[in-house]
Amino acid sequence: MGQWFAAVAGSKRPTDWTVHAPPAVADQFHTSNIEIDSRPSLSLEVELRFHAANDLHRFVAGMLATEPRESLADVGAKLAAADYHLRITRSLATAKNYLRSRYTDNPDARYGLLASARDRDLEHFGVPNDYLSTMRVKHGPWYGDAEDASGHFSCRHLEICVTEFGAQGLELDAALLAWGTDLVMTNGTWSNANSRGYQKKAQVRDALQLRLNAYRVLLTRGRDGCVVFVPELPELDETFNYLANVGFKLLTNDESPQTFTQESDA
């Protein structure tokens, strides 16, 4: 919201803009130059797209704000009770098998591979999130094509990766998020020290907040669930343990596809 305000207030003709927003957001746009249309009916607090949306957004916001693990675990338990699947693994193959098994009888289900655009290590683990690969993505076919469509573009193949820029504002039935080293938990706080740099660093006010915003998008793309793949890198060990402790249930390599949808005791 702050970036929208800066864009509108800093435009050449801010008085030409009218901001339509619910009361909870409208306060962030109050200046003498911007017209505000604030109505409760514009609020999206009641989510119509999927039943667990409110708790999911609260869960993700709490994770990125490093709220106490106990309170996050409570929200994670509510999501599980609502049949929202939060899963985690250090094997990309296990994550892919889980999603293929879960939706094997639903050819219309959409599930796909997501990753941050600022990570520098995932391409070495089978996740093509590098600039050239993601620039070639045909987003329409990726979201819409059937698995057997020509071109092999469908998200269901779990081979082509979409970043936060291709996922923002769009949804899948389930997301396979490859967690990168551009946002890691270090001594209990988030760090973006290993993130790819920006070409125009002087124009970036808060690079860490941009990473948190990106992962907020990536973690909330799935309507039914989110599977997180965390590569076997020492710098990601604390991140993996944190996610596993706040509500993501472990998928193990020795589980057969038929048992993936069962709750794990791990």
pLDDT at 252 over 80: no
37 touches 29 (CB < 8 A): no
Rounded to whole angstroms, the Cα distance separating 1 from 219 reads 19
Q: State residue 103's pLDDT score.
A: 95
pLDDT recorded at residue 20: 87
Q: How far apart are the first and last CA of the chain?
A: 39
Say what angle helices 53-64 and 207-219 make with each other, to 10 degrees.
150
Residue 48 is predicted with a pLDDT of 46
pLDDT for 166-207, tens place per residue?
998 899 999 999 999 999 999 999 999 999 877 556 566 788
Looking at residue 227, what is its pLDDT? 98
CB 182 within 8 A of CB 117: no
* Mean of pLDDT over the chain: 87
The pLDDT value recorded for residue 147 is 93
Q: In this predicted structure, which of 29-33, 54-58, 67-71 has the lowest mean pLDDT? A: 29-33
Q: Compute the distance between CA of residue 186 and CA of residue 206 in angstroms, rounded to an integer.
A: 18
pLDDT over threshold 80, residue 137: yes
Phi, psi of 174 (to 5 degrees): -150, 145
- pTM to 2 decimals? 0.79
